[in-house]
Chains A and B, each alone.
Chain A
Amino acid sequence: MTLTQHDIDQEIAAEHAAYEKRVADGAPVEHHPRRDYAPYRSSVLRHPKQPLVAIDASKDPELVELSSPAFGERDITGIDNDLTRQHTGEPIGERITVSGRLLDRDGRPVRSQLVEIWQANSAGRYAHQREQHDAPLDPNFTGVGRTLTDSDGFYRFTTIQPGPYPWRNHVNAWRPAHIHFSVFGSAFTQRLVTQMYFPNDPLFPYDPILQSVTDDAARQRLVATYDHSLSVPEFSLGYHWDIVLDGPAATWIEEGR
C-alpha cells in the first residue's frame, strides 16, 4: 500500500493531539522527540521498547559520563568553519553566515567545545555516495564544517544556503532545508545531535522529522532567526541560532575552576 502525504499528515496530527492531551492532563512538557515516533518510519525498528534505566548524576561525581572528551586547536584547521573555501572554486548558491552560542541549561556558555556541521548543497544534494537524489553535485562543495566555541560560547560558520530534498519516507516526502549539527558539552551526558532550520519554510508542517518534536515551543527552538547584524555586506545573509544542551552538567568537576 502506498503511503501518501495525507496518511502522514493524519499521523502527525494524531501524535500532536495526543501530546497536547497528555500535557493538559498534567504530564510534563516534552522537549525532545519520542524515539518511537512512527510517522518517521525509520524509527519503527530502531527504538528500544524497554524503559531507559535512570542514573542520578548528582549522586556520584565519579561517573565517566560527567566529563567530556576534549577538543583543541589541533583538531581544527583554519578554514574548517568556512564551507565556501574548501575547494579551488566557489560553490554555487546563496552564501550565509550562521552563528550563535552554545549554552547549558543554566544559560552558561560552553567554552572551547567542538561544533560539527554537515548539509546538502544548494540543489539539495549531499556529497555522500549513498545519496540517491539526482540533483547536481557541486564539485566545490562538500558540505562539512567544524569549529570550537570561543570564550563566550560563540560559534560561527560561513556556508551556502542548503536546498530542500526529497526522501523516501512516503510519496512526495521533502525535507525542509536544514543544517545538521553535532555538539559536545562539558559532560558526555549533554551530547547533542540535531538539525537547524530556516525561518518560514513552507515544508515544516509536512515533515515528520521536524514534527517529531511535538511541543510547539520546542520545535520553534530548531528554527534559526534571520539576523541582519550578522549579514556581511556584499557577501552573505546572517542567521542566529543558539543551542542549549540538555542533561546534567559536570558541576562537580567545575567547582573551584
Chain B
Amino acid sequence: MTKIDTSSPEGVLPTPSHTVGPFYGYALPFRGGEEIAPLGHPDTITVHGYVSDGEGRPLPDALVEVWGPDPEGNLPAVDGSMRRDPASGGFLGRNGVEFTGFGRIQTDADGHWYARTLRPGARGENAPYLSVCVFARGLLVHLFTRIYLPGDEAALASDPLLAQLDAERRGTLIAGDEGNGTYRFDIRLQGEGETVFLEFR
C-alpha cells in the first residue's frame, strides 16, 4: 500500500532509495548547474575533480550535487538555481546575481566535474565546508561527503568530523590547493584512497 496513514503517533516508514540509473540525462542536469557563484563575485572558487570506481576507473555517468553557505556562513533560502524559460520551456540558468548555494553537475566522458561557487564560511564549530551528494548508476543509495578547503589549519584541527578521523582518511575530505582559488577534490567510491562518506542520524 502506498497511501501512507499519517494518523499514527509513531511516525511513518520511509520510501526506499533506488539507483539514479544511467538515463537521467534529460531530467536532472540543468544549464549552469556548475556555475553557482554570481557572475564576477570576488570570493569565487573553483572546485573540480574526478569520480572513480573500485578499479580506479572514472565514472562517465556520475551526478554530483553541491550545497553550501555563502562566505559569511549563511545558508541561502533563494530559489532560481534552474530558472526556466517560459517561451521555449528550456533552462535559462541563474540570474547572475543571486546565490542559491546549490549546483548539480554530471561528470563528463572522462569522469571529471567542476563547480564554481562562493568560498563557504564557517558555521558553529565546524570548519568551512561544502556538502556533496553523489549519485551514479550502480549506487543503490546516494553518498554524502564534504569538501573542506585547505589553509586554515586551526579551523580544520577543531572540526568535529575531521577530529575523529585518522590522518589518511581525513585527507580524503580536504581539497588540494592548486592556486588561484582552484581546488582539486576527487571522489573515490571504493578501494585505495576511498573517500570518507557520511551517514546522518
Contacts and interface: CB of A to CB of B under 8 A. Distances in A.
A60 B2 contact: no
A31 interface: yes
B79 A194 contact: no
B151 interface: no
Contacts of A131: 23
Contacts of B161: 53, 55
B129 interface: yes
Contacts of B167: none
Interface stretch (B111-119, B131-139, B178-186): B131-139
A164 interface: no
Given A43-B138, A49-B194, A245 B81 contact: no
A128 B26 contact: yes
Contacts of A103: 4, 6, 12
A86 B89 CA distance: 8
Contacts of A108: 6
A254 interface: no
B23 A67 contact: no
A157 interface: no
Nearest to B173: A53
A75 interface: yes
A52 B140 contact: no
B21 to A, nearest CB: 6
Contacts of A101: 4
B80 A192 contact: no
Contacts of B21: 180, 195
A42 B55 CA distance: 13
A116 B27 contact: yes
B141 A53 contact: no
Interface residues of B, number: 85
Contacts of B4: 101, 103, 107, 242, 244
B194 A60 contact: no
A120 B160 CA distance: 44
Contacts of B85: 77
A128 B24 CA distance: 8
Interface string A225-245: 101000000000000111111
A244 B14 contact: yes
Contact of B22 (A48, A74, A128, A212): A128
Of the four ranges (under 10, 10 to 19, 20 to 34, 35 or more), the interface on chain A belongs to 35 or more
Interface string A84-111: 0010000000000000110101111000
B197 A48 contact: yes
A70 B76 contact: yes
Interface in A63-87: 63-65, 67-80, 86
Contacts of A106: 11-12
A57 B201 contact: yes
A120 B22 CA distance: 12
A117 interface: yes
Contacts of A21: none
Given A46-B190, A53-B197, A77 B23 contact: no
Nearest to B4: A242
B2 A221 contact: yes
A171 B114 CA distance: 37
Nearest to A52: B199
A78 B84 CA distance: 10
22 contacts: A46-B189, A48-B190, A53-B161, A53-B164, A64-B68, A67-B75, A69-B67, A71-B82, A80-B84, A100-B3, A105-B11, A128-B22, A128-B26, A180-B21, A192-B15, A193-B20, A195-B18, A212-B140, A221-B2, A221-B14, A222-B18, A244-B4
**Which 4 residue pairs across A and B have the least CB separation, nearest first?**
A62-B124, A72-B79, A42-B138, A107-B6
